[in-house]
Amino acid sequence: MEYSFRPLEQKDAEMIVSWDYPDDYMFADISKGSENRYYLLNEKLRGDRYYAIESDNELIGYFSLNNIIRKEYGALQLLIKDDKEEKECEKITELVCKYIKDRYPSCEFINVSTYSNLDRAIKFYERCGFENKGPVSVQGHDMSAYEQEGFDPDNAVDSNISLVILSRKIS
C-alpha cells in the first residue's frame, strides 16, 4: 500500500472523531472525549501541525508534531484507524518518522506518550524502535489550562493513570 500525508482539514477532523475503538484503547478513542478531540476539532489550535494520513485517497489516520524542543526533540501524536493491521501501522509509523526527519532536519529524536494502562500501544511503539523511558506523572494531567480555554474535562483522563514517554532517535 502507498501512503501519503497532507495538511489535516476540518472535514478530516470531524470524520476522525467519529471513529470507534475497542474499550482497551479507550484513551485513543477521540469520540469518547479527550483533550485530543478538543485540539483536533479546533482549527485555530490545530494550526499547521496536524497531517492527514491517506491510503488510496482514503483517510486512515492523522499525526501531529508538537513542541520541537531545543530543535532536536519532537513530540509525536499518532492515530491510525483501528481496522489497520499491526504491520501496516508499523510501516506508517516508519514513514511518519521519515517525513518528520525530512521536514525538520534538526529533529534528532521523536517522543511519543501514551497512557500506562495501554500495554498494546506501549508494545507497538517498542516494536517500532521507541525506547520506553517510563512514566512521567502519577498524577495525570493538570486540566486547569484546558478548562480556561473551554475544554470540558468531564471525560478527561483518570488521575490514577500516568503518561509513559517512549523515545526514538531518527537521525
DSSP string, 81-122: -TTS-HHHHHHHHHHHHHHHHHH-TT--EEEEEEETT-HHHH
Residue 45 is given by DSSP the state: H
Torsions phi, psi of 162, nearest 5?
A: -105, 160
Q: How many domains does the chain have?
A: 1
pLDDT tens digits, one per residue of 54-109: 999 999 999 988 765 566 888 888 888 877 888 899 999 999 999 999 988 888 99
* Domain span including residue 59: 3-169
Strand partners for 164:
114, 135
The pTM (predicted TM-score) of the whole model is 0.78
pLDDT of residue 132: 94
CATH of the domain at 43: 3.40.630.30
Strand partners for 73:
69, 109
What cell numbers appear for 67 in the block? 513542541
CA distance 30 to 105: 31
Classify 30 in phi/psi space as left (phi over 0), alpha (psi -120 to 50) or beta: alpha
pLDDT of residue 70: 61
Q: How many residues does the chain have?
A: 171
